[in-house]
Amino acid sequence: MYRIAVIGGDGIGPEVVQEGLKVLEATAARTGVKYELEHYDLGGDRYLRTGEELPDSVLEELRGFDAIYLGAVGHPEVAPGILEKNLLLRIRFELDQYINLRPVKLYPGVETPLANKGPDEIDFVVVRENTEGLYSGMGGIQYKGTPQEVSTQVHMTTRFGAERAIRYAFDLCRKRNRDKKLLLCAKTNVLTYVHDTWFRAFHEVGEADYPDIERDYAHVDATTMWMVKNPEWFDVIVTENMFGDIITDLGAMIQGGLGVAAGGNINPNGVSMFEPIGGSAPKYTGQNVVCPIAAISAVQMMMETLGEEETSARIEGAVERALASGKIKSLAAGRMGMSTSEVGDLIAGYAGE
Ligand code: IPM
Ligand code: MN
């Protein structure tokens, strides 16, 4: 019996999470996976009502689940940074979800903005380090509002943090057994301290423990170029937190948009959290018009991570079938030709067949 914490969160989060849970229910009825849900009221509305982003007691409870399912965080009436830092990033950091796993996979039937590229060319995974770098929160601001204002934001990097992300990426690359090629994406020509740590860790670990995996390197700017021009060159990319954030939005676009891009915040020895990587999209809230597939794929990643391969495969198969069916006109919000819940029904129907 899996215990899953559900945080619908802000904006369209609750709507898409509902569809993910619908598909889980239909699939579990077939595969026999047993789970129970606990819903948490967290996000901008709760913060505006009570001043709380994530009470310590709730954080402690979250540690006791098998997985967390998150919709979205971000509220137009809450200043930027408050919910992000004190809710989303706090969960990632406190639960030591040190990997942010973001597959970039173009399914058949999905339109990509890249000319002459299809599902054979767009199928790679980004392993984003998820607890360090510019996200560490170290730094500060002094003499604020004066001409002498000075601010710093420290790119905190540890050998330990870089190495565990790199090892995870090598293991994943071996498991995928595709091109067996791991690319480090960094900026060693400018970030000559922090990315030197990454670079040496990458090659030392690779040479010692992963001789079967080819190692490649690209600066982040070049990586974005190749993602557009030659996405077929990538198998697994490992990168630091901020670069991973940026390149996975580009990744989402080439795989068909934020409506289909899912991610997992993984602690391989603890509690992981799964989410669609798009935001709360406040302007579409409550309209039943956004694509729920990213949220459904997040459930699929959750089942895969829990070791429920049959359930995961069934959900992915249902998503693929829905996307190839031609029934969903577009994945853009408001242009699907179907509602959010109808897309959920379609996929739940296939998954439960
Ligand atoms: C993401 C988001 C978050 C991030 C924000 C909301 C803090 O953009 O999950 O990619 O930067 O990690
Ligand atoms: Mn992001």
CATH of the domain at 202: 3.40.718.10
Domain with 50, as residue range(s), is 1-99+261-353
Q: Would the CA dihedral through 130, 133, 134, 139 be positive or negative?
A: positive
On whether residue 105 sits in a domain, the answer given is no
Residue 296 and residue 32: Cα distance in Å, rounded? 18
**Is there a single domain that holds both residue 144 and residue 246?**
yes
**pLDDT the model gives residue 242:** 98
On whether residue 249 sits in a domain, the answer given is yes
For ligand 1, pick from 54, 245, 247 the residue to mutate: most ligand atoms within 8 Å of CB. 245
**pLDDT the model gives residue 72:** 97
Q: Are 85 and 22 in contact (CB under 8 A)?
A: no
Q: What is the identity of the amino acid at 42? A: L
What atom in ligand 1 is closest to the CA of residue 263?
9
Pocket lining: 351 vs ligand 1, CB cutoff 6 Å: no
How many alpha carbons lie under 13 Å from residue 126 in its C-beta half-sphere?
Answer: 34
Alpha carbon of 210 to ligand 1 centroid (Å): 31
**pLDDT the model gives residue 323:** 97
Neighbours of 126 (CB within 10 A): 27
Q: Would the CA dihedral through 190, 164, 254, 177 be positive or negative?
A: positive
Alpha carbon of 18 to ligand 1 centroid (Å): 21
* Ligand closest in space to the Cα of 276: 1
Answer with the one of 233, 255, 277 that is the final residue of a domain: 255
Residue 14 and residue 8: Cα distance in Å, rounded? 4
**pLDDT the model gives residue 281:** 95
**pLDDT the model gives residue 140:** 98
Chunked into runs of 10 residues, the chain (353 residues) has average pLDDT values of: 98 98 98 98 97 98 98 96 97 98 98 97 98 97 98 98 98 98 98 98 98 98 98 98 98 97 98 96 96 98 98 98 96 96 98 96
What atom in ligand 1 is closest to the CA of residue 245?
10
Pocket lining: 245 vs ligand 1, CB cutoff 6 Å: yes
If one counts the domains in the chain, the total is 2
**Is there a single domain that holds both residue 123 and residue 71?**
no
**Is there a single domain that holds both residue 239 and residue 152?**
yes
Answer with the one of 237, 255, 273 that is the final residue of a domain: 255
On whether residue 167 sits in a domain, the answer given is yes
pTM higher than the cut 0.95: yes
**Is there a single domain that holds both residue 124 and residue 232?**
yes
Pocket lining: 261 vs ligand 1, CB cutoff 6 Å: no
Q: Are 270 and 95 in contact (CB under 8 A)?
A: yes
Answer with the one of 224, 240, 255 that is the final residue of a domain: 255
**Is there a single domain that holds both residue 277 and residue 340?**
yes
Q: Are 42 and 75 in contact (CB under 8 A)?
A: no
**pLDDT the model gives residue 159:** 98
Residue 96 and residue 307: Cα distance in Å, rounded? 20
Pocket lining: 127 vs ligand 1, CB cutoff 6 Å: no
**Is there a single domain that holds both residue 117 and residue 241?**
yes
Q: Are 130 and 248 in contact (CB under 8 A)?
A: no
* Ligand closest in space to the Cα of 102: 1
**Is there a single domain that holds both residue 268 and residue 212?**
no
**pLDDT the model gives residue 9:** 97
On whether residue 121 sits in a domain, the answer given is yes
- The alpha carbon of residue 216 and the mean position of all alpha carbons in its chain are separated, in whole angstroms, by 23
- Nearest CA among 5, 23, 75, 98 for reference residue 295: 23
Question: Which tokens sit at 241?
Answer: 């937190």
Parallel/antiparallel/unpaired status of strands 150-153 and 139-142 = antiparallel
Question: Which tokens sit at 151?
Answer: 């601010």
The DSSP output letter for 246 is H
**Is there a single domain that holds both residue 268 and residue 249?**
no
Pocket lining: 126 vs ligand 1, CB cutoff 6 Å: no
**Is there a single domain that holds both residue 94 and residue 164?**
no
On whether residue 52 sits in a domain, the answer given is yes
On whether residue 104 sits in a domain, the answer given is no
Residue 311 and residue 308: Cα distance in Å, rounded? 6
What atom in ligand 1 is closest to the CA of residue 249?
10
On whether residue 107 sits in a domain, the answer given is no
Q: Which residues contact 278 (CB under 8 A, 6 or more apart)?
A: 72, 252, 258, 259, 261, 294
Pocket lining: 88 vs ligand 1, CB cutoff 6 Å: yes
**Is there a single domain that holds both residue 221 and residue 299?**
no
**Is there a single domain that holds both residue 125 and residue 187?**
yes
Alpha carbon of 231 to ligand 1 centroid (Å): 23
Residue 142 and residue 350: Cα distance in Å, rounded? 57
**pLDDT the model gives residue 221:** 98
Helical (H) or strand (E) element with 319: helix 309-324
**Is there a single domain that holds both residue 42 and residue 123?**
no
On whether residue 106 sits in a domain, the answer given is no
Residue nearest to atom 4 of ligand 1 (CA): 245
Residue nearest to atom 7 of ligand 1 (CA): 84
For ligand 1, pick from 88, 258, 266, 280 the residue to mutate: most ligand atoms within 8 Å of CB. 88
